[in-house]
Structure 1
Amino acid sequence: MFPLTEENKHVAQLLFGTGTCPRCIFRFCGVDFHAPYKHSYEELLNDIQKFLKAEKDELILEVPNPPLKKIRLQELEDGIDNPSQNGENKISVIEDGSIASPNSNLNVNVCNVCLGILQEFCEKEFIKKVCQKVEASGFEFTNLVFSVSFPPQLSVREHAAWLLVKQEMGKQSLSLGRNDIVQLKEAYKWITYPLFSEELGVPIDGKSVFTRMAVMKALNKIKEEDFRKQFPCPPNSPKAVCTVLEIECAHGAVFVAGRYNKYSRNLPQTPWIIDGERKLESSVEELISDHLLTVFKAESFNFSSSGREDVDVRTLGNAQMLTPSTRFCFMTGCVLPGRPFAIELVNPHRVHFTSQEIKELQQKINKSSNKIQVRDLQLVSREAIGHMKEGEEEKTKTYSALIWTNKVIQKKDIEFLNDIKDLKIDQKTPLRVLHRRPLALRTRVIHSMETHYVDEHHFRLYLKTQAGTYIKEFVHGDFGRTRPNIGSLMNVTADILELDVESVDVDWPPALDD
């Protein structure tokens, strides 16, 4: 059914006579349902001519499907009339009522409002061209997000056409608000989404990105009389259709999570670079991510974890490294080995993996270096990563520290530490990190301690603490910046020789069967 009524005839005649395509006429007449926009060009042209009882036909184009991924449309610099001229260019109609467009194999009059976007860029030939680019990109995907950027000139032309229609409707005591016009992006989406979906065989996501805010803000502020002085109403007939400058394909990020153990005391978590100079050749991040980048064919990655250890601190979690009581807890499932991490893989070309392939990837990572091991490697959602971040400050961590004292000690001198529970300590930002972290006073809790006597000057201390506790400073006191500390509790000078992270109490990602 033809969507226009008798009350639309005057506006339709006005726009059609100035070179506006049928779909833009529908937009300005407030046709807000999809079906009429999807009709072929010939049908639309015949229907509008019958409706207007026009003597001459004018060829106009249709838009069945939107361009894929990201398409930037921009006018040719020399192909659009100068908007400041009060254009005298008339639509030249040849015998069959059409005019040849210099940028198209189709004979069309380029619409003076949409510049051919609801014409040539809705044709199946263009849809196929975009889909060929997508298929050639080599991405694996099961759905598609459509994003398009239109030239700001379109907003100005649409504003000019609206002022013309508004003025004419005002003569009939009718009104037309700016929001009464169907947006170009919406009409384009209605026409092209089904075509893209059919051509690629995947559903199209309804998201779209348009960056016309600056132009729209200016148009909302400018007075109508000032706009008319600077821009013709209706807009001039263009000399050429918009040109597609670029078709880009990109895939949404995928996320891989797991837990890692670090066995080296000479390996940073992330690349250690100072003043542009690399201090150590590798890092935990790189030993894991390099393999993922290759297999997922991704452009880049972002690494995150539940806290971080110093370069000289190991992250263990092996049962043989724990005390008897902690080992029991570990074996019954309340302590998981390793530190949780997540890696965002940006623009991956391959995204479909079986659980066996992920398991083989984990084995490959583990065989590549004796400095780290990875477990529970798995694909996760972006939302799931929030579970890891939630535990950074809320959960507990278990450590093992080898401590030296300046005074000779006996086993009885350290046993009292075993009885201390939920000890509150105040820690100022440590001197060693003060150059990169703000000065603050933080209260942390040492939930429990267990000692193991080694010799007259050494003992091993197992601690369960609140996340975010500076363990090294709790041992040596950091020149009195952490109180109380092991040195003050024992009335000795104490220092830490070795520190290991035994467990990070964050129940994520889910443990997998080996």
Structure 2
Amino acid sequence: MLPLKEKDRPIVKKLLEAGCCARCVLRFCCLGVQSAYRQSYEDTARELCAFVSDKENNGSQDAAVLEQHKEDPPSKKMKMDAAETDVQSEGDSAVVATVMEEGDAEPADSDVCVVCLGVLQQFCDEISEVVKAKNYQFDTMVLSVSLPAQLSVREVSGYIFIVSQQNVFTRMAVVKALEKVSDEKFLKKFPCPPTRPASKCIAQDVQCLHVSIFVAGRYNKFSRTLPQTPWVIDGERRMESSVEELIAAPLLSSFRAEGFNFSSSGREDVDVRTLGNGRPFALELLNPHRAKFNKAEVRQLQETINQSSDKIRVRDLQIVSRDAMGHMKEGEEDKTKSYTALIWTQKAINKDDITFLEETKELKLAQKTPLRVLHRRPLAVRERVIHTMSTCFLDAHHFHLKLRTQAGTYIKEFVHGDFGRTKPNLCDLLKTETDILELDVESVDVDWPPSIPE
């Protein structure tokens, strides 16, 4: 069942009547659910026709659709433009499908899509036959498609067609139009006073919305296999849960909210624990049906979260205002954080070899964007400061290093150097190869939210 809403029904109907294929209809409806495009073209077309003709049980249908597609990863952004995309992969082979220009193609069938010219309809069999005929030996492949230029024009034409079909007689559109009409012109077209109506106005749709409720607190993370947010890579979920989900689930249920937005004062890697007083966080609960909780009830919510898992613990849970949320991000660059790291050294060391680190104060680093986050962070060189360090010798190749640093310092890269992208680094200071085996966040020095006595 396709995850379409009632508002999509007239758009789907108009597009099908205009000659759009089923998959282009989904694109123009901004549908980002991957499973909708994976099913066969015939099934998609059949469901769209049924959707247009079925005007009953819309509420239950929407609920069933959401349940069916809840495992699909969210689509961050839908693009309707015709920007060319370079596809890179480590695959063994590549298939390039060049779609013919309109003038070169055979006479079109009446079923050929007016927007994509059939590219999204039935190309799989044709491509499969060509690949088999070439008789390559490969395990994986990359498929790239070179599209004719007129598809860009046709796509814009389809978009304008949909926009033009929207109802322009909205209240604001009428108000703006009336501002440009003189009293004389108005009197010629409309009776004054207005005529008596034949029937009363009927409410077409009644919606109830509640302003967001904001809940703040601090969390500890005791697991080295728990991400802060859901970890989805290439559409596949890698971890069964996350910090935000463990915190949000009881709150969503108790506030009867329809969704949430999670934010925190920084974030830790999946293999890093957060100890001490924890990391400040805030949750925006969207359209909550219940909004009033006394202190005892909030404390009970905190206990419910803490009893739901041994991987996290929440403290100082409280309802805050929207304005108070800004305190969490104030002084983002100036705040400090404390860490404890378990260090390995290639060269054998003794206690005297590392004591000099405790005398090193306000060590300035130049950190080029780490390789491990380069895919999601812009390339830059950032200056960071390690304020203090202390050590605890364990054996000839291991010691604990405690650090208090400026927020935003990449601790792992300071330890192993990141192939020279962080200067200076611990390898330089100790004149041997070093690596980090474990890392814990001991404190996030933000004086928010207010502490609540246990």
Shift of 1:217: 3.7
Shift of 1:234: 4.5
Within-5 A mapping of 1:36-435: 212-221=171-180, 231-232=189-190, 234=192, 237=195, 238-317=197-276, 337-435=277-375
> What is the DSSP-based 3-state SS (H/G/I as helix, E as strand, rest coil) of the residue aligned with 2:310?
coil
Shift of 1:411: 1.1
Which stretches of structure 1, 4 residues or longer, exceed 3 Å deviation after superposition? 211-229, 231-241
On the 8 A contact 1:428/1:482 being kept in 2, the answer is: yes
On the 8 A contact 1:401/1:500 being kept in 2, the answer is: yes
Residue equivalent to 1:509: 449
1:371-408 CA-partner distances (Å, limit 9, x unpaired): 01111111111111111111432210000011111111
One-letter code of the match for 2:375?
H
> What is the DSSP-based 3-state SS (H/G/I as helix, E as strand, rest coil) of the residue aligned with 1:426?
strand
Shift of 1:224: 7.6
One-letter code of the match for 1:351?
A
Q: Cα–Cα, structure 1 residues 255 and 239, in superposed 2: closer, same or farther, change >3 Å?
A: same
| CA distance, structure 2, for counterparts of residue 270 and residue 255 of structure 1 | 18
One-letter code of the match for 2:393?
Y
| CA distance, structure 2, for counterparts of residue 365 and residue 269 of structure 1 | 15
| CA distance, structure 1, for counterparts of residue 404 and residue 397 of structure 2 | 23
| CA distance, structure 2, for counterparts of residue 478 and residue 224 of structure 1 | 73
Shift of 1:213: 4.1
1:108-140 CA-partner distances (Å, limit 9, x unpaired): xxxxxxxxxxxxxxxxxxxxxxxxxxxxxxxxx
One-letter code of the match for 2:244?
E
1:436 maps to 2:376: yes
1:445 maps to 2:385: yes
One-letter code of the match for 1:462?
K
| CA distance, structure 1, for counterparts of residue 173 and residue 381 of structure 2 | 45
One-letter code of the match for 1:422?
E
| CA distance, structure 1, for counterparts of residue 357 and residue 180 of structure 2 | 71
On the 8 A contact 1:306/1:391 being kept in 2, the answer is: no
One-letter code of the match for 1:418?
E
| CA distance, structure 2, for counterparts of residue 467 and residue 412 of structure 1 | 29
Give the structure-2-normalised TM-score.
Answer: 0.59
| CA distance, structure 1, for counterparts of residue 393 and residue 430 of structure 2 | 14
| CA distance, structure 2, for counterparts of residue 483 and residue 226 of structure 1 | 75
CA RMSD of aligned residues (A): 2.0
| CA distance, structure 2, for counterparts of residue 224 and residue 428 of structure 1 | 66
| CA distance, structure 2, for counterparts of residue 293 and residue 306 of structure 1 | 21
Give the structure-1-normalised TM-score.
Answer: 0.53
Residue equivalent to 1:85: none
| CA distance, structure 2, for counterparts of residue 219 and residue 456 of structure 1 | 84
| CA distance, structure 2, for counterparts of residue 499 and residue 486 of structure 1 | 15
On the 8 A contact 1:407/1:492 being kept in 2, the answer is: yes
Shift of 1:266: 0.1
| CA distance, structure 2, for counterparts of residue 222 and residue 430 of structure 1 | 61
> What is the DSSP-based 3-state SS (H/G/I as helix, E as strand, rest coil) of the residue aligned with 1:248?
coil
Point out the structure with max Rg over C-alpha: 1
Shift of 1:225: 8.0
> What is the DSSP-based 3-state SS (H/G/I as helix, E as strand, rest coil) of the residue aligned with 1:432?
helix
One-letter code of the match for 2:407?
A
How many residues are paired up? 284
Shift of 1:272: 0.5
Shift of 1:223: 7.4
1:449-469 CA-partner distances (Å, limit 9, x unpaired): 001111111111100000111
5+ residue gaps, structure 1: 1-210, 318-336
> What is the DSSP-based 3-state SS (H/G/I as helix, E as strand, rest coil) of the residue aligned with 2:412?
helix
One-letter code of the match for 2:410?
Y
**Aligned to 1:456, which of 396, 399, 406?**
396
Identity fraction in percent: 67
Using CA pairs below 8 Å that are at least 6 residues apart, which structure has the higher relative contact order? 1
One-letter code of the match for 2:221?
K
Shift of 1:512: 0.8
Shift of 1:298: 1.2
Residue equivalent to 2:76: none
Q: Cα–Cα, structure 1 residues 485 and 212, in superposed 2: closer, same or farther, change >3 Å?
A: farther
> What is the DSSP-based 3-state SS (H/G/I as helix, E as strand, rest coil) of the residue aligned with 1:243?
coil
5+ residue gaps, structure 2: 1-169
Within-5 A mapping of 1:461-476: 461-476=401-416
Shift of 1:422: 0.9
| CA distance, structure 1, for counterparts of residue 408 and residue 339 of structure 2 | 12
On the 8 A contact 1:429/1:437 being kept in 2, the answer is: yes
> What is the DSSP-based 3-state SS (H/G/I as helix, E as strand, rest coil) of the residue aligned with 1:407?
coil
One-letter code of the match for 1:480?
G
